[in-house]
Amino acid sequence: MIKRWLIIAPVAIALAWVCSFTAQPRIDRIRAPQTLDEALLYLPNEKLLTHFTAGMSSIVADLLWLKCVQYTALHFISDRKFTWLNHMCQTITRLDPYFVSVYRYGGMFLASLDANDDASLRLLHAGMKRNPRAWELPYEAAMVYLLNRRSEPGAQETAAAYLGMAVATGNAPRFVVEVAQGLLNKHNLVDIEKGMWEAMLKSDNELMRDLAERKLLELSARETCRKLNEAVQVFAQRYGRMPQEINELVSGEILVSLPQDPLGGQYFLDADGVVQNTSLLDTEIERHAVALRRAIDEFKAGNGRWPQHLDELVQRGLVAEMPAYPYKDRTWKYDPLTGALE
């Protein structure tokens, strides 16, 4: 009987250890990116907390977050000093690295309430590393640059880049996409914008993929416009005058042929001699029209009548400023009786 002990027990234990030695490294490898990299940045006692919460770390993170929110609210009302906010956010995200809300709102509080944009950005970066698909985090980082650091040179470009990252996650809501595009366009950050759309092509969302495809075509159209503008300059240099219409670029032997517009529109020269693309302009019309339409309806809801003219929207603060009609030779057509817009 004793012999059996000596044989079976070690075999069973050895079997278990064989499983452990094969499985554990693979498990650790799959999990590794989350736990091991920032071990040296944090104080030892915080790390210990993670270990000994015995599998309850996610719950403890929830409860600590509640405390953190209360702490913030309390000090917002009283002395506006948020000494522990940063520490709390770090501890919470250590316990639960995927807790996106903490990175986001913690970052927001740190930047807007505590005026500590460095801590905010550090927190947001940590969050972005662990949660690459969370659009909220680069979005908040962009906001930090747009709000806290707006006077810094290059702030807008950095913000635009962050917004591009937000959109690239593929999950960003519509308004973020629009703001991102607007900012990237404004600062001509074509590469970033292109990267953003290309990342969007891989999105799960079909709408997003279609949008990305179209936007990439628009980008290439814009690029073509720019090249055509260069061609116009060459023309001007050679012939000492601006071309009257775009076909002159071909007949003047600057270009072999006019490029096709993949969007189905046309390239033409506007009154100022700048190359434009009809599809791009049409898209812009649509974009502004949607915003104006919304403002007009809001006006009607608030005041019970259609606005007399579009400037009323600006006066009432529903629109920051009247957008220029994309085609420079035309303007917005508005009928105050029916509220219709073209």
Partner 1 sequence: MRVLAVASNTFREAVRDKVLYVLLFFAGVTILGSKALGWISIGQDIKIVKDISLAAITVFGVLISIFVGTSLIYKEIDKRTLYTILCRPLHRYEFVLGKYLGLSFLLALVTGVMTGVACVYVIVLGGTLDGTFFEAILLIYVELLLITAFAVLLSAVTSPILGALIVFSLFVLCNATNILIDLPQQVKGTGFKQVLETIYYLVPNLSNFDIRAEAANGRAVPAAYILWTILYGAGYTVMLLVLASLAFQDKDV
Residues of this chain that interact with partner 1 (CB under 8 A) are: 1, 4-5, 8-9, 12-13, 15-24, 26-28, 30-31, 35-36, 39-40, 44, 47-48, 51-52, 54-59, 61-63, 65-66, 69-70, 96-101, 104-105, 131
Please identify, using beta-carbon distances, which residue of 39 and 320 lies nearer to partner 1.
39
Closest contact distance (angstroms) between CB of 97 and partner 1 is 7
Calculate the alpha carbon distances from 80 to 43, 85, 110, 149, 279 in Å: 26, 11, 12, 20, 51
Please identify, using beta-carbon distances, which residue of 20 and 83 lies nearer to partner 1.
20
Please identify, using beta-carbon distances, which residue of 104 and 215 lies nearer to partner 1.
104
d(CA 96, CA 62): 9
Closest contact distance (angstroms) between CB of 7 and partner 1 is 10
Rg from Cα positions in the chain: 29
Please identify, using beta-carbon distances, which residue of 134 and 216 lies nearer to partner 1.
134
d(CA 304, CA 23): 69
Q: How far is CA 27 from the centre of its chain?
A: 33
Please identify, using beta-carbon distances, which residue of 22 and 83 lies nearer to partner 1.
22
Please identify, using beta-carbon distances, which residue of 70 and 233 lies nearer to partner 1.
70
Please identify, using beta-carbon distances, which residue of 82 and 267 lies nearer to partner 1.
82
Amino acid at 315: Q
**Structure token digits, residue 313:** 């929207």
Closest contact distance (angstroms) between CB of 48 and partner 1 is 7
Closest contact distance (angstroms) between CB of 44 and partner 1 is 7
Tokens 């219709």 locate to 340
d(CA 266, CA 300): 37
Please identify, using beta-carbon distances, which residue of 133 and 294 lies nearer to partner 1.
133
d(CA 261, CA 132): 35
Is residue 121 within 8 A of residue 108, CB to CB? The reply is no
Is residue 36 within 8 A of residue 47, CB to CB? The reply is no
Please identify, using beta-carbon distances, which residue of 171 and 247 lies nearer to partner 1.
171
3-state secondary structure of 277: strand
Among the residues of the chain, which ranges form H helices? 2-35, 44-52, 57-77, 85-95, 100-112, 117-130, 136-143, 155-168, 174-186, 190-200, 206-239, 248-251, 278-303, 311-315
Q: Running DSSP on this structure, what letter comes out for residue 207?
A: H
d(CA 188, CA 19): 56
Largest Cα span, the chain? 110
Q: How far is CA 224 from the centre of its chain?
A: 26
Burial 165-178 (b: 16+ CB within 10 A, else e): bbbbbbbbeeebbb
